[in-house]
Structure 1
């Protein structure tokens, strides 16, 4: 008699535990995490897109004593009375007192420098530099910027402009600079070529 191999009862194989689905889920989570982080960053940045960034770089101790509108008017009046001054603009923005002085068109560098120094002295008389324009250990104070110029370049004035700037930051010393002359003429000559 022949052995029938086809009808022979098959041994049941022990199935190995399937772990494939755990690996798939783990891989999906690992891949999904960076996408979630990037999506969160994009959504939060788009959320505040139409709103300005607001803040204050000064503490309650800073800018004390404050410069008042009355003091600004006094500064403008005092500087306007300096000889040779045609127009004065004084404004206080971002803790910087900016003074623009239009001196007569025929003024030279020495005249503009003298006007700028006199304006600095006038400001120091009304708003003492040590009090208003010098930082302390506890507080930040104002900056001072004075520009004295004879004219602005245009079709009628093409050469001879003089612009003297006196600058005093709260953390630094007074600096006077002629903005129309190069600090290093040799280097400026090389750049112009």
Structure 2
């Protein structure tokens, strides 16, 4: 009988003992760790899936850039600007809704003649493509920008002094701005920086 009592007390001691909570803490910790790992893994897998494909988008709506500038109009602009006296070569391109015109004039040209050619080029362009129609935004639509660069030469080993470079810029949202790119707007600030 004594043996029987001993077994009964030891089994009742096991019943009174509280179960350990360790396994719950382990599972909770695993869940907390797995959530960020799963998020990072998802981001990595989705980014690998889109690899080797360009990111494409369009910043213009269907109402924007209407009327569109045609290749025929670009050719007309190139011919008109090329016919201006003192112009050696002209490059016209239309990229990212900006009509860019680069005008190379004679190397010996002065700032006054470069400015006059840039202004005449602007007048020729707006005669073919009116600024109010093509280069001015409306409440319903965004339109083109116009950028005219006129220069006598690009700086290189054979040309280091006397460059003249004028830019005429008309954004769809703003007015026409003419700027001499070879003269500082604030000479005092330049002198402080260059010394």
Provide the TM-score with structure 1 as the length reference. 0.92
Aligned pairs (5 A) from 1:178-189: 178-189=180-191
Query: C-alpha deviations, 1:74-132, integer Å up to 9, x for none?
Result: 10111111111111111101100000011111111111100000100111100000100
In the alignment, is residue 143 of structure 1 matched against residue 140 of structure 2? no
Aligned pairs (5 A) from 1:117-156: 117-156=119-158
How far residue 7 of structure 1 moved from its aligned partner, in angstroms, is 9.2
In the alignment, is residue 177 of structure 1 matched against residue 179 of structure 2? yes
Return the alpha-carbon distance in structure 2 between the equivalents of residues 18 and 105 of structure 1.
91
Report which of the two has the higher share of helix. 2
Give 5+ residue unaligned stretches, structure 1: none
Query: C-alpha deviations, 1:39-78, integer Å up to 9, x for none?
Result: 1112212221211101111111110000001100110111
How far residue 155 of structure 1 moved from its aligned partner, in angstroms, is 2.2
Corresponding residue for 1:32?
A: 34
Provide the TM-score with structure 2 as the length reference. 0.92
How far residue 156 of structure 1 moved from its aligned partner, in angstroms, is 2.1
- For residue 55 of structure 1, the aligned residue among 50, 54, 57 is 57
Give 5+ residue unaligned stretches, structure 2: none
CA RMSD of aligned residues (A): 1.7
